[in-house]
Structure 1
């Protein structure tokens, strides 16, 4: 039986120019806000922290605190 990936967080490995799916799912969770981010909408992440961010503003604020 095939299992659906809907409503299941994916596990990703973030790289400089993209990401690799380690465990299938349909979204990731923003490390700062806790918002769900659909994989198709994921644009911002930190390679060093291996975290996803929901917006450019959130990513900038998170990286400024490094």
Structure 2
């Protein structure tokens, strides 16, 4: 069975002012919670860790090592 891009996560390269899609998809997974984040809702990520976060609280938690 073939999967379309809506069925799988995108692979992104996170940059300081945005991101570049490396592999097509409609969402990414939060590095802390595992929650699916639709690309149109993605607002928080780490360039250093190359990770996405579902909320500012989860980003802070990851970056502080909590």
TM superposition score normalised by structure 2: 0.90
Residue in 2 that maps onto 1:64: 64
Residue in 2 that maps onto 1:14: 14
Unaligned runs of at least 5 residues, structure 1: none
Residue in 1 that maps onto 2:34: 34
Residue in 1 that maps onto 2:47: 47
SS in 1 for 2:49: coil
User: Displacement of 1:26 after TM fit?
Assistant: 0.3
Residue in 1 that maps onto 2:24: 24
TM superposition score normalised by structure 1: 0.90
User: Displacement of 1:4 after TM fit?
Assistant: 3.0
